[in-house]
């Protein structure tokens, strides 16, 4: 179990940038540090029949989600073979010739899905483009263990954006997706308890959730973080994200005190980070923490984020325990789908 070392907050850090969600961030340096600020939370208690055990885990989640918005989870119930199989598929996909990958490029559809080419985007205006490539896919009820209807969506993204020459690719990554989807629904109950709500408060929000998943590939970078990043500083769109990392370090988290902190891989763990929809609904009580990737380890790095949000028609109305007459809601109420579409459009514009 980790302890927490809180970094002292001096005067406003000297560096700043504006994120795609409109927030301004400040930080001291492009060089990251090691600090014990990201807690490790044992999830075993969420499977207990005793509500007090479930509440105990929820209080740890509450502290982490409010203080830094990032934490590791262990004893989460997902076998290691799923991550291993997914990373094998990631290598199969990214090892293809560029022209094969471009057959499923995200430019073919409006959605934030498909292949994102290497070094296309520059999220923070560095001298060089972000050194990464990615492949995104979305929720499909056919692969959802709890879906009431198994009918596949009839969209261009579903029909066009799957690689044609990688047998077993789609089924394998959706096997992992289904495991993460089940865990995410379970964790929404923990988040409800963490917000001092009824445990089932969010159940109706996750019948057909926004549940996208991404394979990412980061070659080793030679340039300094001042000139290039693997992926630039950003926050995620949805409610929360699971990040499954390989053994190569690179993920970094911005602390409230303005330091980039290394989020090194912990075997068997999954990283959880709060995203913007939850930040908005909780009136900034939960922190949608800024993060980035810098791959200076000298090896190829792969990771697999799973982005979980509410049904698209759910309004992002304020959580009752996070607003009051003295602390009114800071954000206009929009639906989950409206907000995610706006963020996806903003993200695709980055050059």
pLDDT digits (tens, 9 = 90+) for 42-61: 999 999 999 999 999 999 99
Where does residue 159 rank: exposed (0-12), middle (13-18), buried (19+ CB within 10 A)?
exposed
For residues 258-263, give the mean pLDDT. Answer: 93
Domains in the chain, CATH or no CATH each: 30-349 (2.60.120.330)
For residues 164-181, give the mean pLDDT. Answer: 96
The whole-model pTM stands at: 0.92
Helix, strand and coil content of the chain, in percent to the nearest 5, comes to 30, 20, 50
Q: Is 216 left (phi over 0), alpha (psi -120 to 50) or beta?
A: beta
pLDDT score of 2 more than 50: no
pLDDT score of 1 more than 50: no
For residues 262-275, give the mean pLDDT. Answer: 95
pLDDT at position 63:
97
pLDDT score of 6 more than 50: no
For residues 69-74, give the mean pLDDT. Answer: 97
Which DSSP string do the residues of 39-84 spell out, in sequence order?
A: -EEEGGGGG-S-HHHHHHHHHHHHHHHHHTSEEEEES-S--HHHHH
DSSP 105: B
pLDDT at position 11:
57
pLDDT at position 287:
94
CA neighbor of 336 nearest in space, from 306, 307, 314, 320: 314
pLDDT score of 351 more than 80: no
Tokens of 192: 């409800």
Confidence of residue 156 (pLDDT cuts 50, 70, 90): low
pLDDT score of 130 more than 90: yes
Query: 5 or 138, which is more confident?
Result: 138
Confidence of residue 157 (pLDDT cuts 50, 70, 90): low
Is-contact 87 304, C-beta < 8 A?
Answer: yes
Element containing residue 308 per DSSP (H, E): strand 301-311
Confidence of residue 282 (pLDDT cuts 50, 70, 90): very high
Query: How many other C-beta atoms can be found within 10 angstroms of the C-beta atom of residue 108?
Result: 16
> Furthest-apart CA pair in the chain: how many Å?
58
- How high is the mean pLDDT of the chain? 91
For residues 2-14, give the mean pLDDT. Answer: 54
pLDDT score of 281 more than 70: yes
For residues 215-225, give the mean pLDDT. Answer: 95
pLDDT at position 5:
45
Query: 40 or 149, which is more confident?
Result: 40
Is-contact 76 46, C-beta < 8 A?
Answer: no
């Amino acid at each position: 179990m980790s302890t927490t070392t809180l970094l002292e907050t001096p005067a406003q850090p000297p560096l700043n940038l504006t994120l795609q969600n409109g927030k301004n961030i400040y930080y001291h340096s492009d060089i990251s540090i090691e600090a014990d600020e990201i807690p490790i939370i044992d999830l075993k208690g969420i499977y207990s029949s005793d509500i007090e055990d479930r509440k105990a885990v929820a209080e740890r989640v509450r502290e982490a989600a409010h203080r830094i918005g990032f934490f590791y989870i262990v004893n989460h119930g997902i076998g290691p073979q799923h991550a291993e199989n997914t990373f094998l598929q990631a290598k199969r996909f990214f090892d293809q010739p560029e022209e094969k990958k471009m057959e499923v490029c995200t430019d073919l559809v409006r959605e934030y899905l498909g292949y994102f080419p290497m070094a296309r985007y520059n999220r923070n205006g560095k001298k060089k483009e972000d050194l990464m490539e990615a492949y995104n896919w979305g929720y499909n009820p056919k692969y959802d263990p709890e879906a009431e209807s198994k009918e596949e969506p009839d969209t261009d993204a579903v029909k066009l954006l799957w690689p044609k020459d990688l047998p077993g690719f789609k089924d394998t990554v959706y096997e992992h997706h289904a495991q993460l989807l089940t865990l995410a629904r379970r964790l929404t109950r923990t988040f409800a308890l963490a917000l001092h709500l009824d445990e089932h408060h969010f159940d109706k929000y996750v019948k057909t959730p926004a549940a996208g998943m991404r394979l990412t590939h980061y070659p080793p970078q030679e340039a300094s973080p001042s000139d290039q990043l693997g992926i630039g500083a950003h926050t995620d769109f949805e409610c929360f994200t699971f990040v499954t990392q390989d053994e190569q370090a690179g993920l970094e988290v911005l602390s409230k005190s303005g330091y980039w902190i290394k989020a090194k891989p912990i075997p068997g763990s999954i990283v959880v980070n709060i995203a913007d929809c939850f930040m908005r609904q909780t009136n900034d009580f939960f922190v949608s923490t800024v993060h980035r990737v810098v791959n200076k380890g000298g090896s190829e790095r792969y990771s697999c984020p799973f982005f979980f949000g509410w049904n698209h028609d759910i309004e992002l109305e304020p959580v009752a325990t996070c607003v009051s007459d003295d602390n009114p809601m800071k954000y206009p109420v929009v639906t989950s789908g409206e907000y995610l579409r706006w963020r996806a459009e903003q993200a695709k514009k980055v050059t």
